Amino acid sequence: MTGYSPRRRGSILSDMADIAQDLWASVPETVPAEKPTAVRDEPTAPATSKTAPNAEKSADSAPKATYADEKSLPFTELWKVADEPIDWTEVVSSTIPTDGLVSAEKWALYRQYADKVLSGDTAAYLDVLKAVDPMGDLAPYTSSLSVATRDADVMLATFAVRDDLLDSDGEHYLCGLSLRIARDLFATLPVTHVIVTATQKEQPIKRVDFPRSAMQNARFQFVDPVAFVGQLKEA
């Protein structure tokens, strides 16, 4: 069965850097150029308060703010964000976007697959993942990441750990990344379960079954991923 693997984005970032360099080179010398500001969809790492009480205690209990690379989201924010959910029923019923969050081009893409997705066509599931690439930004946190289907209700995701991040964050790394993967797949497809497996040297070291029912009312901004995953059953 053909699966889906998120696209690496190094080449895209390189092209964007070249374009930015050309644009700044054309600014006249007599006009002071403002420093460009990087705009991101994800929240940035919270600033550390210089006067925060009990700072030492908080630092001991919180996971380390690990960065997979200098441009990636800090790990402590990773499971708190996810793609906007796709309402496939709305996509079928409307020829234009029903909110201001989706472009007309992306809406048209969704409509190409909507009927098949709602009918449980697993091949269409994988086509949607390849087209939308919801987990492309997770590539810096894994050695590899792939997704397959068990059936119309269950998605299977497998990621190979990065040893340096595993050593640094341990269970927070495994649980936080698994939780984010599950959130992205639930946002993209109308499945009821996502089973995420973490592997090291091709051997499974953690496998979690995420039911959609457990995710619907969670306030992920305040979730401890280890505690959240601990309430779920091992797959």
Sequential DSSP letters for 195-230: EEEEEETTEEEEEEEEEHHHHTT--GGG--HHHHHH
User: Which of 175, 165, 162 has its CA nearest to residue 220?
Assistant: 175
Alpha-carbon Rg for the chain in angstroms: 20
Top pLDDT among 175 and 55 is at 175
Q: How many domains does the chain have?
A: 1
> Does 9 reside within a domain?
no
Tokens matching residue 157: 């995701």
Top pLDDT among 186 and 42 is at 186
Kindly state the average pLDDT of the residues 184-204. Answer: 97
In this prediction, what percent of the chain has a pLDDT beyond 70? 70
> Does 191 reside within a domain?
yes
> Does 16 reside within a domain?
no
> Does 134 reside within a domain?
yes
> Does 6 reside within a domain?
no
Predicted local confidence at residue 100, as pLDDT: 82
User: Which of 174, 157, 156 has its CA nearest to residue 165?
Assistant: 174
Tokens matching residue 116: 């098949």
Q: Does the pLDDT of residue 232 top 70, yes or no?
A: yes
Q: Does the pLDDT of residue 200 top 80, yes or no?
A: yes
Q: What digits encode the pLDDT tens for the residues 39-53?
A: 334 444 444 443 344
Report the distance separating Cα 139 and Cα 228, nearest Å. Answer: 23
Global pTM reads: 0.71
Range of the domain at 158: 71-230
Kindly state the average pLDDT of the residues 79-100. Answer: 92
- Helix, strand, or coil (residue 89): helix
Kindly state the average pLDDT of the residues 188-210. Answer: 97
Predicted local confidence at residue 31, as pLDDT: 38
> Does 90 reside within a domain?
yes
> Does 176 reside within a domain?
yes
Q: Does the pLDDT of residue 71 top 90, yes or no?
A: no
Q: Does the pLDDT of residue 17 top 60, yes or no?
A: no
> Does 22 reside within a domain?
no
